[in-house]
Amino acid sequence: MEFVDQNPIGKSSRSNPATYLKAYDEIRKLMAAQQASKINGYKASHFSFNIDGGRCEECLGEGTVKVEMQFMADIVLTCESCHGKRFKNDILDVKYKGNNIHDILEMTIEQAIEFFASDATNTEKRIVNKLQPLADVGLGYIKMGQSSSTLSGGESQRVKLASFLAKEKNEPTLFIFDEPTTGLHFNDIKKLLKAFDALIKKGHSLVIVEHNMEIIKSADWVIDLGPEGGDKGGYLVFEGKPEDLVNVDASYTARFLKPYLQ
Ligand SMILES: [Zn+2]
């Protein structure tokens, strides 16, 4: 059983969706396997922004530096040493199909999938397989190197869902969501529904506690508790398909759901 919330996926500002899904580990290996890396003795660790070696020493691989201000919010500036490219020049000279590690981190998830899919060796296939779930949950527009701390709650939630889709061993799991649409815009709700569909296709089951009609109308089975809140609620008002729920007079949900099913 898994509980998936909207909390941030990583505390480090250097974590991003590609590192969370472990696609970045494979990309670092790929870069270390290039001719220029072999000649210079660069290992996969040189392409990490979490440890010293290849990362910019000035900004420690962040690409930005924070200037602390008195009486004002901190100011974030592009690092003058690496010009926001996060790595040392020698490391940036290593290229795979004409792109260095910074170029790859600047790609969107969708662009990266296309970029790596054009070569069919095992490493590239592994990278694509690890990135694909992010596209499947509607996050294809996010940049590979985008800091996790800049993701919205809804985006963080979908990154977590993607990590479940990416799992190689996929035992059927029961996912429980407590009002997953809280704070989400209509467009994000549509993407969340797409992510739910992807989980169901993988053989998982979802139980969602929700007031949002877009979600309720998409359910296979609705358990409507009521009729009121608090002491006057908690009774089973209806159980069944959304199309049948709208005909139940005693249900408030039915009244609100009706326009969504017309
Ligand atoms: Zn720097």
170 in a domain, yes or no? yes
228 in a domain, yes or no? no
224 in a domain, yes or no? no
Determine the distance separating the centroid of ligand 1 and the alpha carbon of 54, expressed in angstroms: 11
Determine the distance separating the centroid of ligand 1 and the alpha carbon of 90, expressed in angstroms: 13
239 in a domain, yes or no? no
151 in a domain, yes or no? yes
Mean per-residue pLDDT of the chain: 91
Determine the distance separating the centroid of ligand 1 and the alpha carbon of 55, expressed in angstroms: 8
Instruction: Select from 26, 13, 18 the least CA-distant residue to 135.
Output: 18
132 in a domain, yes or no? yes
Determine the distance separating the centroid of ligand 1 and the alpha carbon of 157, expressed in angstroms: 30
Determine the distance separating the centroid of ligand 1 and the alpha carbon of 174, expressed in angstroms: 44
Q: What are phi and psi of 223, to 5 degrees?
A: -110, 105
Lowest mean pLDDT among 50-59, 78-87, 168-177, 220-229: 168-177
Task: Evaluate if residue 124 carries a pLDDT over 80.
Answer: yes
- The CA-based dihedral angle spanning residues 123, 135, 112, 35, taken in that order and rounded to the nearest 10 degrees: -20
Q: What's the CATH code of the domain at 180?
A: 1.20.1580.10
Determine the distance separating the centroid of ligand 1 and the alpha carbon of 155, expressed in angstroms: 27
Determine the distance separating the centroid of ligand 1 and the alpha carbon of 14, expressed in angstroms: 13
User: What local confidence, expressed as pLDDT, does residue 215 receive?
Assistant: 95
CA angle, 223 as apex, 203 and 133 as ends, to 5°? 30
Residue 126, domain extent: 2-210
186 in a domain, yes or no? yes
Task: Evaluate if residue 37 carries a pLDDT over 90.
Answer: yes
Determine the distance separating the centroid of ligand 1 and the alpha carbon of 58, expressed in angstroms: 5
Domain tally, the chain: 1
Lowest mean pLDDT among 38-42, 119-123, 243-247: 119-123
26 in a domain, yes or no? yes
Task: Evaluate if residue 223 carries a pLDDT over 80.
Answer: yes
Determine the distance separating the centroid of ligand 1 and the alpha carbon of 7, expressed in angstroms: 28
Mean pLDDT for the stretch of residues 177-189: 85
